[in-house]
Amino acid sequence: MCGICGIISFDNKPVDETVLKKMTDIISHRGPDDEGMYINPERNVGFGFRRLSIVDLTPAGHQPMSNHDETIWIVFNGEIYNHLEVRKELEKLGYKYKSRSDTETLIYAYEQYGIDFVHKIHGMFSITIWDEKKKLFIAYRDRIGKKPFYYTFQNGKFVFASEIKSILLHPQVVKDLDEESLNQYLTFLIPPVPSTMFKKVKKLPPAHRMIINESGDVTIEQYWEVIGNDPIEFESDEKTVSKNLIDMLRFSIKDRMMSDVPFGVFLSGGIDSSTNVALMAELMDRPVDTFSIGFKDLEKYNEMYYARKVAKLFKTNHKEIIIDSRDALEFFPKLVYHQDEPLADPVCIPLYFVSKLARDNGTIVVQVGEGSDEQFAGYEWMKRDRDYANREYKWIQNSPSFVKSGLFRIFSNYWLKKKQLLALDYLRRAVEGEELFWGGAVNFTNTHKKFLMNKNFGNDSYIIIRNIYQDYKKISNIDDVLRKMIFLEFKNRLPELLLMRVDKMAMATSVEARVPFLDYRLVEYSFKLSPKLKIKGNQTKYILKKSVENILPKEIIYRKKQGFATPMNEWLRSDLADFTKDILINSKIHRLNIFNKDYILDLFNNHYSKKYDFGQNIWNLLNLFMWYDYWFEDKYI
């Protein structure tokens, strides 16, 4: 796992080595073990690299790395789990290796197979290649989107990096706020791909590659689709599917144990992290290192009882940390710095502290449970929205216009009075013929924004959702509500919010996080399963729970889902209250005249008085306002 950056000059001015060095240094937390730079003979291409040594700890793994005649150069962030398998194939073809690293395999695979070499590898990656002979730059982001790749094309320079802060150091990159992305952030907690909160700075979508020729022509194309080949009929035999799932998970976890440094597991005591521990314990001849986090004086948020139970059952080397709101407050400046653009998920806070716990105990690589709930339907809201879409939503859509308008008139007054704007927006979607489900983390809806914002951004948020559903229809003939919901999660919330919170917070502490539930072969298989196996009766995540019955206690498998959460509701009513109110009212963002201060103050007062729970709404705004003051007003510097 590493940090990468680079510059391609199209304005006949050479790459500035001093600028490249600064861009490289600012992401040193992603790679504290080594650094390197490469500038080509024409001095129009420069690569920077920071190394977190995981595989082949020797200097032979140094990057930027080249082929034997130095015509192909690479900087690479990630891990290729099948690199030894590909290496054997390449060695048979005559390639001579100088290292044991997966990076060298990528160079020769490109040399042998061209730009489609990506189909031969699996792992998590952000790969950039400069082909000196062909004068081509090629960049890849992994299939699911575990690793980030940010870029901009400004003033004759193409600039890229693992983190936006590196790009912003280039003197020809203009740092402007993208108000349209801000609007999307308020709804989705992160701007959907390819936008970022910085105008002209973009992110490469998952499963896409970018090709730039010597004239500066850019091609961005998709090389893989999450659904794979649509099944003629779903796999629905429980016994067969259960066996296949556990076998695939076992192989996936084994692949992700590839490491020359200590590795462990983030353990919450839920089914996903516990499965990681159980299967890893089968494969190891030493105790698994496990790490958990809890919250002081807020037991309802803590899962320590279950984490300790799993740790004891599998005899792990278990470590814990307890944090409180004061820890969060002290962390806020680092939070907005490491996020680069705001991620309105307060789970970023405990993720940072549990990552730091691992690093402080000498563990460099951890396995995490992200992606399981999304593909196997582990959330209660998935069942709720599926049922709404199949019942009430269809009924409303099929009703005469006078019925729709009457319903909206009656319930809008009621829900406005109760401040239930999400419920009102659900009704609005049905009446106006929009898709019901927008994602698992929708915060400020179009209905909210009528009160929150002084500017009207129209229905742009729905256009993003509509386009994803249209993409689904182009590649699948299966009209199943739950399957479409899962597809939407894989296209927006999972890669750009959940996986980026893991990447940014773990890498802030120089820890690599691996995601066994998101092996692309497992994902392709899960899309071939009958949705009726994912939610059966009232049981969410049904088939995965059946799959792990022989390795986990039923107390762990079938306990009520708690989820990895942060007690932001409570913190905003106690130690964070004064700080939050001050930022919400006095942030310099109000100079832009985007927000209705009175509505924001009303949100805060209603939450603080415990009349309503508006914790997520307030955190969304607080995170945004802190970010703006940091990056545009230098408030915390």
Catalytic residue among 2, 365, 500, 603: 2
Asked if 336 contacts 626 with a C-beta cutoff of 8 angstroms, the reply is yes
SS3 label, residue 375: helix
Range 2-222 classified under CATH 3.60.20.10 = yes
Tens-digit pLDDT profile for residues 483-535: 999 999 999 999 999 999 999 999 999 999 999 999 999 999 999 999 999 99
Q: Output the CA torsion sign for 399, 403, 405, 410.
A: negative
The residue-averaged pLDDT of 342-356 equals 97
pLDDT at 455 over 90: no
Quote helix, strand, coil % in the chain, to nearest 5: 50, 15, 35
Distance separating alpha carbons of residues 580 and 550, to the nearest angstrom = 47
The residue-averaged pLDDT of 144-150 equals 98
Tens-digit pLDDT profile for residues 401-412: 888 888 888 888
Task: List the beta bridge partners of residue 7.
Answer: 46, 159
SS3 label, residue 390: helix
pLDDT-based confidence at residue 636 (cuts at 50, 70, 90): low
For the chain, what are the domain ranges?
Answer: 2-222, 238-376+491-557, 380-488, 568-633
Q: What is the CATH number of domain 238-376+491-557?
A: 3.40.50.620
Distance separating alpha carbons of residues 169 and 196, to the nearest angstrom = 16
pTM of the entire predicted model: 0.96
pLDDT-based confidence at residue 564 (cuts at 50, 70, 90): confident
Distance separating alpha carbons of residues 81 and 507, to the nearest angstrom = 19
pLDDT attached to residue 261: 79
Helix/strand/coil (H/E/C) assignment for every residue in 91-156: HHCCCCCCCCCHHHHHHHHHHHHHHHHHHHCCEEEEEEEEECCCCEEEEEECCCCCCCCEEEEECC
| Percent share of the chain, pLDDT over 90 | 85
Token pair recorded at residue 245: 């799932």
pLDDT at 637 over 60: no
pLDDT-based confidence at residue 1 (cuts at 50, 70, 90): low
Cβ-based burial of 239 (10 A; exposed 0-12, middle 13-18, buried ≥19): exposed
Distance separating alpha carbons of residues 3 and 18, to the nearest angstrom = 17
pLDDT at 277 over 50: yes
DSSP label of 214: T
pLDDT-based confidence at residue 416 (cuts at 50, 70, 90): confident
| 2 catalytically annotated | yes
